[in-house]
Structure 1
Amino acid sequence: MTSRINTILIVGGTTGIGEQLVRRFHALGKKVIVTGRNQANLTTLAQELNGLETRQFDVVDFSTLQSHVTGILNDFPNLDTVLINAGIQKSFSFFDPSSIAAGEIEREIATNLTAPTLLVQAFAPHLLSLASKGTPATLFVTSSTLGLLPMGLWPSYSASKAGVHAIALSLRQQIAFAGEEAKKNFDVVEIVPPYVDTELDKEHREATIAAQGENAFPPMPLQEYIDQFFKALDETEADGRPKKEIGVGMGAMVVQTWRDSFGKVFEQFGMAT
C-alpha cells in the first residue's frame, strides 16, 4: 500500500507511535507533513528530517481547526493521505471522584473522538474529490485494541476509541454511495494498536500495572510495533485492496474477532464495513 502514498499528513506526530510513523514514511521518500502542539518537538523533527513540513496547532482548539485544515490543503493540494493519530489516555475510577477531574475527562474525549470526527469531516471532501478523479486517496484513523475490547482501567479512553472505530465504519458506508470512482480509489484504514511502550500511559503506568497484579502484561516495544505495522501495511485484502484494519499483536486478534462476528452481521445487511 505504501506505493499509493505520495503526500501524507500525520496529525499528532511528535511523540510515540506518531513520531515513528513520521520518521518511517519520511525514510520511504514520502512527502510528509506533521502536526503537533509542541513547537519545540516539531522544530527538532524538521531539523533531523530534510524536507519535512510542520504545522503547529492543538486539535482541541476547535475554533481554529478548520482554518488550519484549509491552510494545509491550500499549501498541499495534492495531499492524498491523511493519518489522524492524536490521542491522550487517562485512568480513573468512577467510584473515586478524586481520581480524575471532570475537565480531564472532557479533554480526553475531545482529543480522542471529537477532534478526529471534525478532522474527518474537514478532510473527507478533499480526499473524495481526488478519488473521484482517479487518484488513490487514503484516510487512516487510529483507534485502539481498547476500542474493541474495553477495559475498566481506562473507561473514557476505551469509549472514545470505540467511537473512532464507529467513525471508520460510517465513513466507509458513506463512500459506498459516493460513486464508482470513489469506491475504487478512496480507502479508510483503521489503525488498531495493542499496548505499545510509549509515553501515552506515563502518568498512570505504575498504578495500572499494580491494579492488574499478576495479570499485568508488558507493552510491545515501540520499534517492534512499527516494524510489524509497516509489514502489515503492504498486505492486502483478498480483492487486492488495502487492508481495512491494521492490527498488530492483540490488535490483530480483536480485529479478526470483530470481523468474524459483527462484520458478518453487516454483510447480511449488505452494508460496507
Structure 2
Amino acid sequence: MPGIKDAKSVLVIGATAGIGRALALAIHNLETKPTVIVSGRRQERLDEIATQGERIRTARVDLNTHHDNLKAFVEDILSNYPDLDTILLSSGIQHIFDFKKPETIDFKVLEAELNTNYLSIIKTIILFLPHFLKRSSEGKPSFIIPITSALASAPKPDVPNYCATKAALHSFDISLRAQLKGTNVHVLEIFPPLVESELHDHQGTTPALSKHWMPLDEYTKHTLEGLIRGDPDVTAGFSVGVFEKWEKGKREQVEQATFPSK
C-alpha cells in the first residue's frame, strides 16, 4: 500500500512546534531521503528547523488569512517545488471557552480557531488538488495528510470549539477519501491522542496535562510507522481505543455510499 515511504517532496504546514515539527524531522530522516518544506508563522522557528537537515527548506505562511493569500502561497510552493507529492497539515490552535459565561466569549478568537483548524485547512487542500490530480493522471502517487484529534470523537467540554473544528475536519477527511477513491491521491488521517506539545501553554493547563500526555518522541515513532505502512487512519495510544469505539467501520460505510444522481 502506498505510504510516506513513497514520498519524494513533502510540505509540512504547522511545522514550527509539536507534532508537525517532530514529523517533519522524522520524514526528512527516512532512508528514501525526501525533500521536506517546513511551513508556519514563525520564521525564526523555521530557520532553526532548517539547520537540522540538508534537505529541509522553509516557506512562511499564516493560515489564518484571506483565501487570496493562501492561493498565492500554494502557487509559490508549486512554482518552487513542481514535484511536490505530499502535504501534511498540522496547524492548529486551541482555546478554552466557558459557555456559562457567554459574555466572556471573544468572537474573534472563536472565528480564528475555526479558520485555522478547519476552513484554511480545507481551502489549502482544495488549492493543491488540481496538482495532485494531474499527478494521479500521470500514474504518480500523492498524499494528503491532515491531523485531526481523538477529541473529534470524544470531545473535551472546556475546549468545545476546538473539538468541533477537529470533528468537522475528520468528517471532511472521510468524505474526501471516498471521493478520491480510485485515484492515486491518498488521504491518510492522523488521529492523535493527547500528546506533549506547546498547544496548551497559553491556557495554563500544561502542568496538569503533562501528567497524562503521550511523550512526543514515542508518539512520533508510532505515527511514522503508520504513515510508512500507508494506514488510512493513523492512531496511537489513547486514540486507538477512541477510534475502535466510535469510528471503526465508518470510513468503509461512507466509501460504499453512492453519490446522488443529478
Pairwise same-fold verdict (TM > 0.5): yes
- Of 181, 203, 213, the match for 1:219: 213
- Of 37, 42, 46, the match for 1:33: 37
Report SS of the residue matched to 1:13. Answer: coil
Q: d(CA) in 1 for partners of 2:71 and 2:255?
A: 35
* Residues 113-152 of structure 1 aligned to structure 2 (within 5 Å): 113-152=118-157
Alpha-carbon deviation of 1:115? 0.7
Q: d(CA) in 2 for partners of 1:231 and 1:126?
A: 27
AA at the equivalent of 1:193: P
| Worse-matched range after superposition: 262-271 or 123-132 | 262-271
AA at the equivalent of 1:117: I
* Residues 36-115 of structure 1 aligned to structure 2 (within 5 Å): 36-62=40-66, 63-97=68-102, 99-115=104-120
Q: TM-score, normalised by structure 2?
A: 0.89
Cα-to-partner distance string for 1:53-110 (whole Å, 9 max, x where unaligned) = 1011101112311001001011111111111110001112111236542211111111
AA at the equivalent of 1:23: L
Cα-to-partner distance string for 1:31-72 (whole Å, 9 max, x where unaligned) = 100111001111111123223110111011123110010010
Q: d(CA) in 1 for partners of 2:124 and 2:27?
A: 21
Identity of matched residues, %: 31
Alpha-carbon deviation of 1:172? 1.5
Q: Which has the higher helix share?
A: 1
The structure, 1 or 2, with the larger RCO (C-alpha pairs under 8 Å, 6+ apart) is 2
Q: d(CA) in 1 for partners of 2:82 and 2:255?
A: 36
Confirm or deny that 1:159 pairs with 2:164. Answer: yes
Distance 1:263 1:223, change over 3 A: same
Cα-to-partner distance string for 1:166-220 (whole Å, 9 max, x where unaligned) = 11112122213xxx4x1xx22101111100010011122438949xxxxx96111
AA at the equivalent of 1:248: A
Distance 1:61 1:103, change over 3 A: same
Alpha-carbon deviation of 1:20? 0.6
Q: Does the CA contact (< 8 Å) of 1:112 and 1:160 recur in 2?
A: yes
Distance 1:4 1:26, change over 3 A: same
Q: Which residue of 2 aligns with 1:14?
A: 16
Q: Does the CA contact (< 8 Å) of 1:146 and 1:162 recur in 2?
A: yes
Structure 1 unaligned blocks of 5 or more: 211-215, 236-241
Q: Does the CA contact (< 8 Å) of 1:13 and 1:85 recur in 2?
A: yes
Q: How many residues align?
A: 254
Any runs of at least 4 consecutive aligned residues in structure 1 with deviations exceeding 4 A, and if so which?
A: 207-210
Q: Which residue of 2 aligns with 1:229?
A: 223
Q: d(CA) in 2 for partners of 1:270 and 1:253?
A: 29
Q: d(CA) in 2 for partners of 1:54 and 1:33?
A: 5
Q: TM-score, normalised by structure 1?
A: 0.86
Alpha-carbon deviation of 1:229? 0.8
Report SS of the residue matched to 2:199. Answer: helix
Across the aligned residues of Structure 1 and Structure 2, the Cα RMSD in angstroms comes to 2.2
